[in-house]
Amino acid sequence: MRVHHLNCISTCPLGGRLMDGRSAHVLERGHLCCHCLLVETSQGLVLVDTGLGLRDVADPRGRLSRFFLGLVSPDFREEMTAARQVERLGFDRADVRHIVLTHLDFDHAGGLDDFPQATVHLLASERDDALRQRSWLDRQRFRPQQWSSRPRWRAYDSTQGESWMGFDCIRQLDGLPPELLLVPLPGHTHGHAGVALQVDGAWRLLAGDAYFFHAEMDPERPRCTPGLRVYQWMMEKDRSARLHNQRRLRALAAHAGDAAPTVFCSHDVTEFERLSGRSARLPAGALLATGR
């Protein structure tokens, strides 16, 4: 398998440096990425999360909540959508046969509509909770306007599957190779998951929104920016599960030896730029040697 790292539309939250730890001061907008993966497999292309999509760029007020538009102010650039980056890499959107979702938040599932031939894989607990729309915040974060793909959703029971490095996982995703796993990591949402990939014998784990800031994985002194700490608290569905999974991810990332997997999250720019080898403000293909 070959993996391409895509930033599928950055968000620019209020709070500047208090959010991203990188901005010059707190009065400017911060910069968070939306780290997605395009995976070349023998079964076709697989997209892991979609970020925001073409329809979100064209009609943000019709697709997204005013609350989140004001809070995170996405940098709506069409060339940064997954659809346009797939094309820039020389593929057709129809080549994307499968999409694996960490969860259904608007900034992870907005591009589902752009790949009408793809089967969408997610945990059943995520599907069911998102469809219930129980709270005001649920109605802001889970956007049915983005879900024309619902007839093609393939949902999996999070209580089934073999273990992977001490985590429960779902193997044998329909139509996908066994080197691609859905790993339940509840907390941020009830059906939140990570996606593990084995590439050239080495494992990588996109942990989604199980954490937000790279220093949260520091085994000795984990820390997070004040703004992202508050944001994670605001968005969490199960605090004890979220913090428990962060501790497990720290232990996994600190695993000694060659078997240590590469663990990264969805929104940390530092992690994205280290793994992609380019600025998070550039689309895939801007530097031809970025897919690795």
286 located within any domain? no
Predicted pLDDT of residue 255 = 77
Tens of pLDDT, residue by residue, the chain (292 residues): 899 999 999 999 999 999 999 998 888 999 999 999 999 998 899 999 999 999 999 999 999 999 999 999 999 999 999 999 999 999 999 999 999 999 999 999 999 999 999 999 999 999 999 999 999 999 999 999 999 999 999 999 988 889 999 899 998 899 999 999 999 999 999 999 999 999 988 999 999 999 999 999 999 999 999 999 999 999 999 999 999 999 999 999 887 566 789 999 999 999 999 999 999 999 998 654 434 4
Predicted pLDDT of residue 290 = 39
288 located within any domain? no
Residues 158-162: contacts with CB under 8 Å, at least 24 apart: 158/123, 158/124, 158/125, 158/184, 158/186, 158/191, 158/193
282 located within any domain? no
- Residue range(s) defining the domain that contains residue 82: 2-276
72 located within any domain? yes
287 located within any domain? no
Predicted pLDDT of residue 1 = 87
CATH of the domain at 123: 3.60.15.10
272 located within any domain? yes
Are 177 and 42 in contact by the 8 Å Cβ rule? The answer is yes
38 located within any domain? yes
Burial code of 86-109, b = ≥16 C-beta within 10 A, e = fewer?
beebebebebbbbbbbbbbbbbbb
Predicted pLDDT of residue 292 = 40
Predicted pLDDT of residue 287 = 53
281 located within any domain? no
The pTM (predicted TM-score) of the whole model is 0.95
Number of domains present in the structure of the chain: 1
- Tokens in use for 183? 């790993």
